[in-house]
Chains A and B, each alone.
Chain A
């Protein structure tokens, strides 16, 4: 279903749906007893689907961040106390698309410089607009994650080592960026 976001970058609904479906999945972090069937379903839905092959954080990079203990409900589903370990993959995906967005005007200029074909320019412009909407949608969809992982990060805040500081700065920037995109 995540593919719908890319198919309809100008429509808000797929992104709203993406955020709401996360809510259903995140109910696993509520500390109440459940049946084995439901528990299995929660474990199965842990992996995230990648529509576009975007870069991800390697296990080695993840191990560099300092881990602190989290409440049982969060540790049970392999959540980390570091913001960047939890949100790193999504952040890289957003950064990749933002990078493409930055490249788009350059491409437009290049086509004008090489051979001024109206259709190519129009296509690049369309791509740029779609990307812009998609990035906004992605930020909107990830807002819940950003708040979730940053509150977990605040719970175990320690600024020891450059990776911890980097993680702290990352969630400050993400909170400011996503908050700014709404207000």
Chain B
């Protein structure tokens, strides 16, 4: 099942790679999320491991083989402790080299933990070999090797707790950083809004505030696209362009405002002139159908 899931994962990854040019980054991310959701019940088999290839992702299979080989060595070669010790050393050495060379576990701290465990097992194998080679002849070697094994046992018992505490500390730090970043982002967004917000004065009596929400959205979208598709240099150029666009828009708005004010003043002037040139010729008197005339 593990190989089957990992193959499915790799197939999905290959398909996403092929469709990279056609799909937007958000779409490919969504597809990956869909896959993860579909196989969430089997996440244990592939999630923690490096997804470079099937070879690096099938760690659980390697550990399965590693552990079953240990069992077989213990039960089949019980009459030959030296052979057992040698075989165990070979297995642990291969595992350690595999872990160091391929780095199959995503998290660095988990990888360090696994390497430490394998190293402990390798030392344990060496101590077993030392004891098997001397037999019951040298008590000093037996005592020393036994004490070493007790120490290794202690490491094996307490090391996971130590790594757990380290992971917790890192998690808290990461959470604090993300919160800080989110707060900064919020602040930056706020200042950007106030910069873009333009105050439009009305006909003298009412103050009208118009936010450039539409143009802001357009700017955000174009900025997002630029970030996703372009490199750093292009990004800098893009930001410059966007800045100039903002300036142009602001200029346009100011021009419109001035133009509006000018046309309004022109209209008022012409009306005033018309009133002065052709004053209404009405008489201040009683109307024809007033009851006095009648």
Contact = CB atoms under 8 A, between A and B. Distances in A.
A175 B44 CA distance: 20
B44 A9 contact: yes
Contacts of B135: 32-33
A155 B60 CA distance: 28
A128 B41 contact: yes
A23 B67 contact: yes
A32 to B, nearest CB: 5
Contact of A35 (B40, B43, B142): B142
Nearest to A148: B71
Given A137-B44, A182-B3, A151 B72 contact: yes
Given A24-B152, A27-B124, A34 B142 contact: yes
Interface in A1-38: 1, 4, 9-17, 19-24, 26-27, 29-35, 37-38
A88 B27 CA distance: 49
A7 B105 CA distance: 20
Contact of B110 (A13, A74, A136, A144): A13
Could you tell me the dominant secondary structure of chain B's interface residues? Answer: helix
Interface string A58-72: 000000000000010
Contacts of A12: 44-45, 47-49, 59-60
Most B CB within 10 A of own CB, among A23, A128, A180? A23
B81 A21 contact: no
B102 to A, nearest CB: 15
A153 to B, nearest CB: 10
Interface in B121-136: 121, 124, 128, 131-132, 135-136
A98 interface: no
A140 B1 CA distance: 12
A23 B153 contact: no
B126 to A, nearest CB: 12
Could you tell me the dominant secondary structure of chain A's interface residues? Answer: helix
B3 A30 contact: no
Contacts of A33: 131, 135-136, 142
A35 B114 contact: no
Contact of B48 (A11, A20, A37, A181): A11
A147 interface: yes
B218 interface: no
Nearest to B48: A12
Contacts of A151: 71-72, 75-76
Contact of A37 (B113, B146, B157): B146
A10 to B, nearest CB: 5
A23 B41 CA distance: 28
B69 to A, nearest CB: 9
Q: Give the size range of B's interface with the partner.
A: 35 or more
A38 B149 contact: yes
Nearest to B2: A182
B156 interface: yes
Contacts of B124: 24, 27
B150 A144 contact: no
Interface string B17-42: 00000000000000000000000111
A32 B45 CA distance: 37
Contacts of A41: 150, 153
Contacts of B145: 34
A16 B63 contact: yes
A181 B1 contact: yes
Contacts of A30: 74, 78, 81, 84-85, 128, 132
Nearest to B132: A32
Most B CB within 10 A of own CB, among A11, A12, A74, A178? A12
Given A12-B60, A33-B131, A182-B61, A144 B71 contact: yes
B81 A1 contact: no
B156 A24 contact: yes
Contact of B160 (A1, A31, A129, A137): A1
Given A30-B74, A133-B43, 11 more contacts: A12-B49, A13-B114, A16-B63, A23-B67, A26-B74, A27-B149, A30-B78, A132-B42, A133-B42, A136-B44, A148-B74
Give 9 nearest A-B pairs by CB, closest first: A35-B146, A144-B67, A148-B71, A132-B41, A38-B146, A147-B71, A147-B68, A151-B75, A133-B44
8 contacts: A20-B156, A24-B153, A26-B70, A38-B146, A128-B41, A129-B43, A181-B1, A182-B61
